[in-house]
Amino acid sequence: MRRIAALILSTVLVAGSGAGLAVAQVEEAPETEAPAEEDGLMKRGAEMFLRGLMDELDPALRGLEDLAGEMQPALRSFAEEMGPALHELMGKVRDWSDYHPPEMLPNGDIILRKRLPGEEEEEAPSPFDSPSDGSEIEL
């Protein structure tokens, strides 16, 4: 779920920055020249689309900017507190594929189990695969 949220967030940010550049380029074009007859409607349609897209994305992008500003102190604190421990852990683990995914025990401890030499890595099901029992979900 986090990967999907990150993908959506990055798509919005990339689309917003790309659309912003396109709108900025369109707005910088001189207004005195009359557009050529063959591309005038397409160009105006593209301008209207990009301006509408930017108008729709602007509040969301401002909200993300505010959220990033709110999260910055917490992330900085996390990095300062956990950085040395994570650095130590990275020095001990050579290949993360040699370990099972982390597990949380009932008492709250998190453990990493090492895979046995003959043990194969379990493949996690893709969220895009159809259900294995043959049932489908109608949207």
The pLDDT, as a whole number, for residue 132 is 62
User: What is the pTM (predicted TM-score) of this model?
Assistant: 0.33
The pLDDT, as a whole number, for residue 129 is 67
User: Which DSSP string corresponds to 62-126?
Assistant: HHHHHHHHHHHHHHHHHHHHHHHHHHHHHHH-S-GGGBPPPEE-TTS-EE-PBPPTTPPPPPPPP
pLDDT tens digits, 64-95: 888 888 899 998 998 898 888 888 888 887 78
DSSP code at position 36: P
Q: What is the average pLDDT across 114-134? A: 69
- In sequence order, the 6+-apart residues with CB closer than 8 A to the CB of 111 are 102, 103, 105
Q: Residue 50: count other Cβ atoms within 10 Å of its Cβ.
A: 20
Amino acid at 68: A
- In sequence order, the 6+-apart residues with CB closer than 8 A to the CB of 13 are 61, 64
DSSP code at position 50: H
**Domain regions of the chain by residue span:** 13-27+41-111
Given a cut of 90, whether residue 22 has pLDDT beyond it is: no
- Pair of tokens at residue 128: 């895009």
* Cross-strand bridge partners of residue 99: 114
pLDDT tens digits, 36-71: 555 788 999 999 999 999 999 998 888 888 888 889
